[in-house]
Amino acid sequence: MSFIPLIIRSKNLFSSESSLKYFLIQALASAVFLFTIIINLFLINFTPNLLKLTIILISSTIIIKTGAAPFHFWLPSVIEGLTWNSNIILITWQKIAPLIIISYCINIKLIILRIFFCISFGRLGGLNQTSLRKLIAFSSINHLGWIIAGMINREALWVIYFLFYCFLRILIILTFNRHKLFNISQTFSFFTSNKIVKFILFINLFSIGGLPPFLGFFPKWLIIESLISMNRFRLLTFILFLTLITLFFYIRISYSAFLINHKERNWNFKTEILIKNSYLLIFLSFFSLLGLIFINLFFIIV
């Protein structure tokens, strides 16, 4: 409920629509969640087989609240109507409580099914998107698959992935918000005026995609190592294959900005001011280059 006033503070039609959708979806999921708990408390002693059904219902309601596939259809439309600052809260902070509940209700068959849906819909849904906000939404759905995959072996693994996910996601969204970017077509003209911002942004995009040697590869590498130790090679092969699709639509954005535009402006006063006001983002973005250093330190510690 406290998130809804943050959505509608921009006072436009799109934010009002997004707040209504968010309220209805979250209220429905919470009502079913509480109703399932009540059924579990009063009827479990009479019908023990009801436990499996309640676990499925609880898992489904939590999946709805996180916006994970296959109940993800509300998330892109809600994100499309929000400001970038509200998007940061929705795809990071708002996912903490549902993910903790999911980690307590681990069922291997259900978890593998969730991973399959999240990664499939997250990869394929982002292919035909031109809106950066919807692209961030489908990328978030895809990362939920990796986060849930980290719950199979150790609880701390998904927490590590989620922290790296939040850092990189906040960094890229702050960059979009700083330069008022909402559509891929804006990269055709905007980034020709600032080579440094262009370089920094696509470092972060490749890092979010999990391309080595960037920072985003490090948590993915931990989950890959965990799945190998559990001999889940089929699941790992499926995840890695679809990872290439995500890199495709990140490379598509960078291709349009780096190669299609051939005329670039020289250094001028406006770009100097733009860079001066973005020192913090530029400094934090260079952490995306530290992926191999984190991996080497991990090897030394282990």
- Run of H or E including 144: helix 132-149
Q: Half-sphere exposure of 181 toward its Cβ, with a 13 Å CA cutoff? A: 24
Identify the CA nearest to 240 among candidates 227, 231, 253. 227
CA distance linking residue 189 with residue 239, whole number of Å: 34
130 pLDDT band, cuts 50/70/90, is confident
* 39-72 tens-digit pLDDT: 777 766 666 667 777 778 888 888 899 888 888 8
CA distance linking residue 134 with residue 130, whole number of Å: 8
Tell the residue number behind the tokens 């965990």, with chain if given.
226
What sign has the CA pseudo-torsion 7, 92, 243, 192? positive
Buried b (16+ CB within 10 A) or exposed e, 63-80: bbbbbbbebbebbbebbb
Q: How many CB atoms lie under 10 A from the CB of residue 273? A: 10
* 147-157 tens-digit pLDDT: 988 888 766 88
Q: Is 131 helix (H, G, I), strand (E, B) or coil?
A: strand
Residue 206 φ/ψ, nearest 5 degrees: -65, -30
Query: What are the CB-based long-range contacts (under 8 Å, 24+) for 103-110?
Result: 103/151, 103/155, 103/158, 105/55, 105/58, 105/59, 105/62, 106/151, 106/152, 107/55, 107/59, 108/152, 110/55, 110/56, 110/59
Identify the CA nearest to 148 among candidates 121, 112, 123, 197. 112
Note whether 95 and 169 are within 8 A (CB).
no
pTM of the model: 0.86
Residue 267: the pLDDT is 44
Residue 17: the pLDDT is 85
Domain extent for 277:
3-301
Percentage, residues of the chain above pLDDT 70:
80
Residue with the larger pLDDT of the pair 189 and 50: 50
* 83-97 tens-digit pLDDT: 888 899 999 999 998
CA distance linking residue 140 with residue 147, whole number of Å: 10
Note whether 186 and 179 are within 8 A (CB).
no
The count of structural domains within the chain is: 1
> Rounded mean pLDDT of the chain?
79
